Chains A and B, each alone.
Chain A
Amino acid sequence: MSDLAPPARFSRPGPGGFLGYVAVLLLVLWAMEGAGWSVERLVASPPKLADFFARAWPPSTHNLDRLAWKMVETLQIAVAGAAIGIVLSVPVALLAARGVLVGRGVNWAVRTLLGFIRAVPDLAWALVFFVAVGLGPFAGMLAIVIDTIGYCGRFFADDMENTDPGPAEALGATGARRLDIAACATIPAALPAFVSTSLFGLEKAVRSSTILGLVGAGGIGIELKVGFDLFDYPTALTVILMIAVVVIGVEQIGALLRQKIMGPGR
């Protein structure tokens, strides 16, 4: 055994680090204050929650057929919106990825546009398309399309930037055009990551589509709103349970597919 004294387990933060910790703590306290943090209301909430669950239990089975069809419509909105969004994300990502197809100026402009798309919540996009195409699931689907482009477009671009540059360089040395290099080297190398990102996009679309109905953009969300508005808590609980089952189911299927495509631990 060595006679050397072991080093200190933890290092003391310097003045800058200490000030950083204090600043983060103050920021969180300021945010909680702005969010109306109240210990009294938190302590008083369990009886009210218990009252809600007592009135909601057992979940209603009266309108199961109608709710099931609404859930199918929800999934249709999610699948159609995600599929179209994923396909459109590929060319957008090619323009956003640095060093793949176009110059830095276009990369920056497209990435800024994608940032704007992501910054606007899906419910706000649904309201915009509600104005453009009217009430119903079509507005919801368009909201999912644009939301998926914002998400997949950015991550597809990151996936392409992170591929091994070797094959692209080898093709570049033979005089291949940038589009050929992207199609033959960059996209095939990024394909497993594309599939994984697309599955996350689909899961996100399913979660989003369940609440789009709150603003009249189709799907089961409207049933949730009506349930609460009419104090029909058993129906509201049924809707919540259906959403949970479908979202968890889609996530599980997505995780299985990802593992199959990417391999364990990746």
Chain B
Amino acid sequence: MALDHAVPRLAATASDLQARGLAKRFGTAAPVFSGLDFSIRQGDCVALVGANGTGKSTLLRCCLGLIAPDAGQVSLLGEDIARIAGPARRALRARTGLVGQKHNLVPRLSVLSNVIHGLLGQSSGPRYWVQGLAPEPARRAALASLEKVGLAHLALRRADQLSGGQSQRVAIARALVGKPRFLVADEPCASLDPQAGEEVMALFMSLVKREGVTVLFTSHNVQHALSYGDRILGLQGGRIAIDAAARDVTPQTMAALYV
């Protein structure tokens, strides 16, 4: 259900994400990546692939403005994220979400409280800290989001009493409760066994596609990238080695990224 305190929407652009000349290095080591140019259209689902250490997670965080690139520019939902700060940056982030490799729930709190935290970008204050204090619309929105991932019956269970698959579903519910327009998922199935990973990935992708969310996700699972991504971005040696529609990419081309 929709919250009655709706987030102001920025003007729609052809590209939800545009990266120009992105570069990042840590300390004096060689650059993780440099000169990256790419864009992601609204509603696209893009798989970012590459071997360990090619900077996929760093790139995702640069795209969300969680870490600053050393060079280049990121335009997210029509905003240059380096040029906005304070309330404007929070308003932008309220329209984005992050699903991590680890579920990143707060272990001692209930499932429902964790999902309500997904609304903190839109509604701040102690009433949103725990479900017991939360306004009724927020509780209902969180419960509806939990229902979408099939876990409404576990709303009052402590987050540290869930299985890995359940935890990741709750993380997805938390990411979706604020109705984001752009979602980043950093290897969302990496900590799950193959069957749970398959279920979570299928659920995640069906939800984001149904709600028209633009998604940038990383995965080491070639089949996931090819099945769920509309487009493949492949990183190798700090550069983009593949930028093509998923239907045009073969598993062999993907395998070459890991050599």
Query: B137 contacts the other chain (Cβ, under 8 Å)?
Result: no
Whether the pair A184, B129 counts as a contact (CB closer than 8 A) is yes
List of A residues within 8 angstroms of B106 by Cβ: 167, 184-185, 188-189
Whether the pair B108, A174 counts as a contact (CB closer than 8 A) is no
> For A173, A180, A185, A192, which residue has the most chain B Cβ atoms within 10 angstroms?
A173
Report the Cα distance A246→B219, complex, angstroms: 58
- Given the contacts A166-B100, A180-B124, A183-B126, A173 and B184 also touching, CB distance less than 8 Å: yes
By the criterion of a CB under 8 Å from any partner CB, how many residues of chain B are at the interface? 38
Whether the pair B64, A180 counts as a contact (CB closer than 8 A) is no
Query: B148 contacts the other chain (Cβ, under 8 Å)?
Result: no
Within 8 A of A (CB), among B122-157: 122, 124-126, 128-129
Report the Cα distance A174→B119, complex, angstroms: 8
Whether the pair A174, B121 counts as a contact (CB closer than 8 A) is yes
Query: A170 contacts the other chain (Cβ, under 8 Å)?
Result: yes
Chain A residue at minimum C-beta to C-beta distance from B130: A184
1/0 per residue B73-107: CB within 8 Å of A? 00000000000000001111111111010101111
Query: B56 contacts the other chain (Cβ, under 8 Å)?
Result: no
Within 8 A of A (CB), among B29-71: 64, 66
List of B residues within 8 angstroms of A181 by Cβ: 120
Query: B216 contacts the other chain (Cβ, under 8 Å)?
Result: no
1/0 per residue A152-185: CB within 8 Å of B? 0000000000001011011111111101110111
Whether the pair B129, A175 counts as a contact (CB closer than 8 A) is no
Whether the pair B102, A175 counts as a contact (CB closer than 8 A) is no
> For A167, A175, A177, A189, which residue has the most chain B Cβ atoms within 10 angstroms?
A175
- Given the contacts A175-B91, A184-B129, A170 and B174 also touching, CB distance less than 8 Å: yes
Report the Cα distance A171→B113, complex, angstroms: 12
Whether the pair B93, A183 counts as a contact (CB closer than 8 A) is no
Query: B118 contacts the other chain (Cβ, under 8 Å)?
Result: yes
> For A170, A174, A189, A191, which residue has the most chain B Cβ atoms within 10 angstroms?
A174
Whether the pair B97, A167 counts as a contact (CB closer than 8 A) is no
Whether the pair B98, A169 counts as a contact (CB closer than 8 A) is yes
A interface, by DSSP: helix, strand, loop or mixed?
Answer: helix
B22 to chain A minimum Cβ distance, whole angstroms, is 18
Report the Cα distance A260→B155, complex, angstroms: 26
List of A residues within 8 angstroms of B97 by Cβ: 173-174
Chain A residue at minimum C-beta to C-beta distance from B118: A174
Whether the pair B90, A175 counts as a contact (CB closer than 8 A) is yes
Chain B residue at minimum C-beta to C-beta distance from A181: B120
B214 to chain A minimum Cβ distance, whole angstroms, is 15
- Given the contacts A167-B105, A189-B106, A177 and B120 also touching, CB distance less than 8 Å: yes
Query: B117 contacts the other chain (Cβ, under 8 Å)?
Result: yes
Report the Cα distance A169→B102, complex, angstroms: 11
Whether the pair B66, A180 counts as a contact (CB closer than 8 A) is no
List of B residues within 8 angstroms of A183 by Cβ: 126, 129
- Given the contacts A175-B93, A189-B108, A184 and B102 also touching, CB distance less than 8 Å: no
Query: B17 contacts the other chain (Cβ, under 8 Å)?
Result: no
B84 to chain A minimum Cβ distance, whole angstroms, is 11
List of A residues within 8 angstroms of B233 by Cβ: none
List of A residues within 8 angstroms of B98 by Cβ: 169-170, 173-174
Whether the pair A173, B108 counts as a contact (CB closer than 8 A) is no
List of B residues within 8 angstroms of A170 by Cβ: 98, 100, 104, 171, 174-175
Whether the pair A171, B124 counts as a contact (CB closer than 8 A) is no
Chain A residue at minimum C-beta to C-beta distance from B99: A170
> For B92, B94, B120, which residue has the most chain A Cβ atoms within 10 angstroms?
B120
Report the Cα distance A15→B128, complex, angstroms: 61
B199 to chain A minimum Cβ distance, whole angstroms, is 21
A to B CB contacts below 8 Å, 20 in the list: A169-B66, A169-B98, A170-B100, A173-B64, A174-B93, A174-B96, A174-B117, A174-B119, A174-B120, A174-B121, A174-B180, A175-B91, A175-B120, A176-B117, A177-B90, A180-B117, A180-B129, A183-B126, A188-B109, A189-B107
Q: Across chains A and B, which 8 residue pairs bring their CB atoms closest together, nearest first?
A: A175-B121, A175-B93, A176-B120, A173-B98, A166-B104, A175-B94, A175-B90, A174-B121
Q: Told that A170-B175, A177-B90, A189-B108 touch, could you supply 7 new A-B pairs with CB distance under 8 A?
A: A173-B184, A174-B118, A174-B175, A174-B178, A174-B180, A183-B126, A184-B109
